[in-house]
């Protein structure tokens, strides 16, 4: 089956009163048309968006060796997306894959990440979703750097994910695969959202399975002896089985049912309460031992009322019942968690201590800033050429005055050849000449570092580009060009939050300069 000819499947309009569940706008704003429609992408589009599926674009925790890798990509129009690339053994039936993805792509709710497209071309099976810039729950809960997640944010996560699961139930999407801390992502506002990737079936036979035995519901292991189950699984997937001192490798452990998702939600509650990934059996032993508060993360001390913590522990216990029929439904989850939110008026990014990016309107940016914001490298190059060296006061005159020395003449010739190569977009040679020039000049030149930084960008050497842009800033501390170049390099490296910060800083210094000139 060929891929997809950029067709779009229109979703129900939010203005259509006959639509049973109207699409909700993301973060309260009108949903972009690119996100509102589900699209079948061509493989070349997604290859271009990820720089040829470059390892530097991988954002999934499993990295390049994960069976299903997730990449950060940038579509035309500067739309950031997450692209999940399945292993070649997954989804042999291209039509089945597209049908399943299209079904998931109809879901639109502010508590879940929108699936905006797919691709099934040749052996490739790819999903395209909105990009969430603020990492996973796993990162913020288990691997935090600046501060642990506060209690009120943990309660909000429990509430929002319950809302997401309830919405999926209403839409008859009751099966969610491997609900865990990696499946919960944070958007630009810091709000937690459920990844739609987990709503896709994840097997060759179109059935629903779980892939993590350590945290799966007990019903998965009740259909006979465990070795029989593993042997059966091994035969299905050609996986490797080794027993006694060896390792097990298998893809499918057991069938997922709606009640299994509730069990997994209980494990999320354990994560939020403890700040650790505690196996459910161990947690239940603590709960049954009447020492429920021993589960609590010590970093939360003083942030919660004991009765509120006890209610969440009790809810986790209900979700983790060994009999699937004894677990609550999503409506019960909502009724139990929603009343525990005590700071609904406080934005999530404030609770999490995340910087809120102030998006600067294009009209407030200089031409160079606009080119940076749009990642318009051709225009950026033109402006660098026209600007020349004029921001370095006296540098040109000083060199001209010293032309009588052979050393300075050689330096001027090297600079001339570098500038010609830069003008002609011969970036490989401009790097060579500017590198030689850097070693010759007694005083570093911000413009030379800036031009070499841009040349590195154009030859896919983003780390070196970032280094030179920082050197240019050292030469002229409040030079907007240096900040814009850092923004470009950081964006190419997938560090969008830092890139936006640099763009904002560059714009601020731009405005400061313009105001001083007016005076």
Instruction: List the structure tokens of 515.
Output: 């105001």
DSSP, res 466? H
Catalytic position from the list 152, 159, 166, 178: 178
Interatomic CA distance for residues 34 and 115, integer angstroms: 11
Buried (b) or exposed (e) across 180-212, using 16+ Cβ within 10 A?
Answer: bbbbbbbbbbbbbbbbbbbbbbbbbeeebbbbe
CB contact set of 112 (below 8 Å; sequence gap of 6+): 164, 167, 168, 193, 194, 195, 196
Residue keyed to tokens 């809302």: 163
**Vertex 448, ends 447 and 451: CA angle to 5°?**
85
Residue keyed to tokens 């709710």: 109
Contact status, residue 317 vs residue 287, Cβ threshold 8 Å: yes
Contact status, residue 263 vs residue 212, Cβ threshold 8 Å: no
Interatomic CA distance for residues 275 and 105, integer angstroms: 32
Closest CA to 452 of 4, 442, 437: 437
Query: In terms of DSSP H, where are the helices of 106-145?
Result: 137-142
Instruction: Find residue 209's DSSP bridge partners.
Output: 255
Residue keyed to tokens 């035309």: 76
Query: In terms of DSSP H, where are the helices of 275-405?
Result: 280-288, 306-319, 330-337, 348-352, 367-373, 377-387, 395-401
Q: How many beta carbons lie within 10 A of that of residue 508, not counting itself? A: 15
Question: 140 vs 55, 280, 512, CA distance in Å?
Answer: 23, 21, 36
Question: What region, left, alpha or beta, does residue 509 occupy, with left being phi > 0 and alpha being psi -120 to 50 degrees?
Answer: alpha
Instruction: List the structure tokens of 499.
Output: 């890139």
Is 178 among the catalytic positions? yes
Residues in the chain: 519
Residue keyed to tokens 């027993």: 243
Enumerate the active-site residues.
178
């Amino acid at each position: 089956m060929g891929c997809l000819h950029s067709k779009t499947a229109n979703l129900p309009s939010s203005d259509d009163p006959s639509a049973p569940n109207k699409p909700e706008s993301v973060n309260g704003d009108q949903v972009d048309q690119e996100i509102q429609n589900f699209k079948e992408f061509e493989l070349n589009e997604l290859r271009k968006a990820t720089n040829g599926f470059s390892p530097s674009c991988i954002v999934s925790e499993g990295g390049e060796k994960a069976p299903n890798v997730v990449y950060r990509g940038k579509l035309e129009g500067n739309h950031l997306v997450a692209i999940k690339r399945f292993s070649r053994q997954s989804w042999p039936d291209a039509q089945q894959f597209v049908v399943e993805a299209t079904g998931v792509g109809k879901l639109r709710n502010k508590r879940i990440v929108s699936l905006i497209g797919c691709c099934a071309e040749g052996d490739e099976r790819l999903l395209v979703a909105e990009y969430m810039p603020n990492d996973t729950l796993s990162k913020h809960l288990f691997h935090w750097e600046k501060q642990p997640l506060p209690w009120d944010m943990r309660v909000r996560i429990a509430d929002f994910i319950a809302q997401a699961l309830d919405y999926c139930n209403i839409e008859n999407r009751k099966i969610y695969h491997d609900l865990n801390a990696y499946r919960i992502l944070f958007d630009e506002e810091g709000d937690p959202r459920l990844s739609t990737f987990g709503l896709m079936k994840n097997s060759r036979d179109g059935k629903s399975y779980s892939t993590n035995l350590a945290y799966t519901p007990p019903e998965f292991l009740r259909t006979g002896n465990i070795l029989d189950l593993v042997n059966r699984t091994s035969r299905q997937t050609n996986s490797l089985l080794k027993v006694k001192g060896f390792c097990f490798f298998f893809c499918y452990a057991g069938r997922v049912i709606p009640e299994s998702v509730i069990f997994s939600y209980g494990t999320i509650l354990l994560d939020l309460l403890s700040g650790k990934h505690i196996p459910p059996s161990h947690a239940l032993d603590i709960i049954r031992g009447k020492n429920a508060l021993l589960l609590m993360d010590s970093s939360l001390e003083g942030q919660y009322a004991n009765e509120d913590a006890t209610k969440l522990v009790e809810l986790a216990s209900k979700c983790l019942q060994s009999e699937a029929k004894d677990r609550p439904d999503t409506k019960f989850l909502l009724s139990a968690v929603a009343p525990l939110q005590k700071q609904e008026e406080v934005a999530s990014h404030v609770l999490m201590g995340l910087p809120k990016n102030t998006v600067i309107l294009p009209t407030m940016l200089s031409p160079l800033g606009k080119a940076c914001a749009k990642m318009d490298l051709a225009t950026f190059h033109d402006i660098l050429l026209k600007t020349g060296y004029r921001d370095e006061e006296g540098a040109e005159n000083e060199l001209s005055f010293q032309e009588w020395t052979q050393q300075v003449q050689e330096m001027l010739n090297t600079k001339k050849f570098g500038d010609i190569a830069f003008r002609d977009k011969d970036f490989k040679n401009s790097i060579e000449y500017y590198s030689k020039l850097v070693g010759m000049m007694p005083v570093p030149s911000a413009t030379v570092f800036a031009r070499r930084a841009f040349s590195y960008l154009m030859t896919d050497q983003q780390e070196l580009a970032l280094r030179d842009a920082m050197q240019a800033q050292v030469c002229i501390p409040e030079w907007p060009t240096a900040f814009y170049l850092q923004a470009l390099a950081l964006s190419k490296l997938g560090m969008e939050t830092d890139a936006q910060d640099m763009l904002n800083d560059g714009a601020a210094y731009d405005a400061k300069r313009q105001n001083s000139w007016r005076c």
